[in-house]
């Protein structure tokens, strides 16, 4: 988003830019998509396989947990061969964070509230500074600043914000400013409240957005779409991770759909399809599923319509780049709102894909 005359820049354009590997975060850079691996870090082959799947879906940064010392060798091997920059996810043991800096991490993610004493946090800050890598300061209900946690005058959202602000100030006192902040909760609307407050309290710090512990695919998709959709549309947020109790590749697909729906960023086709009604004489669900399957590897940001009848064909889907609309045993193929061919229903998907290839992929 560019600045409009008479208006100030949107929040994400005011944040300081940091780099996770070669991926920029903040300062008006494209909102970066992240996910986290679920395979054992001690198994680099399995983890690298999952990272390759994430990369194929458009993931730009991968986070890998280091739960114990026995995971460090695997983590080092992952960093060495990963096509994506790797963020080391550390809880409790500051020594793991320090070692991760030496093993190839492109960034650290730590919750200062559960690392322990400030001396331990400072040791992590110093190690990251020497390695030249940023730190994501994470805050959630279980990792509030100790002096903030007991305050009865603050709401939970305010405690999250006050904790994050206090941590950022401490990092700045040690002359470490390559930070990204996340303050996560399982509530969609509290996530909105917290990040609005953070955007005002820390206007120069890039924000990592996400709803934590969001649940299964359906519930998590709704929660993240609501929270991230509101925040991104307000210009808040520099990188996102859509947390879902599902394979990580699903997180990336949903993340891109949220970015596309908010007009922030597009990757791959958008399918426009009608919900069907009594006038539909074809199996539109099967037709749409087949088109979606065959477009899965397409990265061009096309708008492709799959409609159930001529009523909802080039008329209601006129804005689509290209599409098909089913009739009684046949389909019309249209582009730019104009009918370009009539084909048999069994040939419709092949005809559509051939036209996409000829018009947009040559």
CATH code assigned to 270-360: 3.30.413.10
Lookup result for tokens 């602000």: 165
Max CA pair span of the chain: 74
Q: How far is CA 113 from CA 9, 68, 168, 235, in A?
A: 32, 19, 12, 28
* Residue 38 to residues 43, 81, 215, 240, 245, Cα–Cα distance (Å): 11, 17, 15, 18, 10
What's the CA gap between 179 and 191, in Å, rounded? 20
Give the pLDDT confidence score for residue 55 in this predicted structure.
96
Sheet holding 270-273, edge to edge: 270-273, 303-307, 322-326, 330-335, 338-344
User: Start-end ranges of CATH 3.20.20.20 in the chain?
Assistant: 11-261
For residue 105, give the nearest of 85, 91, 90 by alpha carbon. 85
Contact 101, 131 (CB under 8 A): yes
Which pLDDT belongs to residue 301? 85
Q: Which helix (H) or strand (E) holds 158?
A: helix 156-173
- Residue 231 has, within 13 A of its CA and on its CB side, a CA count of 32
Q: What is the pTM of this model?
A: 0.88
For residues 150 and 159, the answer to whether their CB atoms sit within 8 Å is no
- How high is the pLDDT of residue 3? 33
Other CB atoms within 10 Å distance of the CB of residue 283: 14
Region(s) of the chain under CATH 3.30.413.10: 270-360
Three-point CA angle 114, 117, 122, nearest 5°: 100
pLDDT by residue for the chain (362 residues), tens only, comes to 333 333 346 788 899 999 999 999 999 999 999 999 999 999 999 999 999 999 999 999 999 999 999 999 999 999 999 999 999 999 989 999 999 999 999 999 998 888 888 899 999 999 999 999 999 999 887 777 777 777 878 888 888 998 899 999 999 999 999 999 999 889 999 999 999 999 999 999 999 999 988 789 989 999 999 999 999 999 999 999 999 999 999 999 999 999 999 999 988 888 888 787 777 777 888 888 888 888 888 888 888 888 877 666 666 667 788 888 877 778 888 888 788 888 888 888 898 888 888 888 76
- Of 164, 136, 133, 180, give the one whose Cα is nearest residue 17: 180
Q: Strand runs (DSSP E) across the chain, as ranges?
A: 18-20, 23-25, 32-36, 61-65, 86-90, 107-110, 135-139, 179-183, 208-209, 239-241, 270-273, 303-307, 322-326, 330-335, 338-344
- 4-20 residue pLDDT tens: 333 346 788 899 999 99
Domain 11-261 = CATH 3.50.50.60: no
């Amino acid at each position: 988003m560019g600045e409009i005359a008479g208006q100030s820049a949107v929040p994400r354009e005011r944040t300081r830019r940091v780099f996770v590997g070669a991926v920029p975060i903040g300062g008006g850079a494209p909102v970066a998509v992240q996910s986290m691996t679920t395979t054992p870090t001690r198994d680099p082959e399995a983890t690298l396989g999952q990272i390759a799947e994430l990369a194929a879906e458009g993931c730009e940064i991968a986070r890998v947990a280091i739960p114990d010392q026995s995971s460090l060798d695997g983590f080092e091997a992952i960093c060495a061969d990963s096509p994506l920059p790797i963020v080391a996810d550390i809880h409790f043991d500051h020594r793991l964070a320090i070692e991760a800096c030496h093993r190839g991490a492109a960034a650290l993610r730590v919750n200062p509230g559960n690392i322990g004493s400030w001396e331990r946090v400072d040791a992590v800050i110093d190690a990251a500074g020497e390695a030249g890598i940023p730190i994501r300061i994470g805050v959630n209900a279980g990792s509030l600043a100790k002096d903030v946690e007991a305050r009865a005058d603050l709401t939970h959202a305010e405690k999250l914000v006050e904790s994050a602000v206090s941590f950022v100030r401490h990092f700045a006192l040690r002359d470490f400013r390559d930070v990204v902040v996340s303050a996560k909760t399982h509530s969609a609307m509290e996530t909105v409240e917290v990040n609005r407050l953070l955007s005002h309290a820390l206007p120069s710090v890039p924000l990592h957005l996400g709803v934590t512990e969001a649940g299964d695919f359906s519930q998590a998709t709704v929660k993240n779409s609501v929270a991230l959709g509101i925040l991104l549309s307000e210009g808040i947020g520099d990188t996102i991770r859509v947390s879902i109790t599902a394979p990580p590749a699903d997180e990336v697909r949903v993340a891109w759909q949220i970015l596309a729906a908010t007009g922030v960023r597009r990757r791959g086709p958008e399918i426009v399809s009608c919900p069907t009604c009594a006038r539909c004489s074809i199996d539109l669900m099967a037709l749409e599923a087949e088109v979606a399957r065959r477009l899965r590897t397409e990265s061009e940001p096309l708008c492709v319509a799959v409609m159930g009848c001529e009523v909802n064909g080039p008329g209601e889907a006129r804005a689509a780049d290209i599409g098909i609309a089913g009739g009684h045993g046949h389909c019309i193929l249209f582009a730019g709102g104009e009918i370009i061919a009539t084909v048999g229903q069994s040939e419709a998907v092949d005809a559509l894909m051939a036209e996409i290839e000829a018009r947009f992929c040559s």
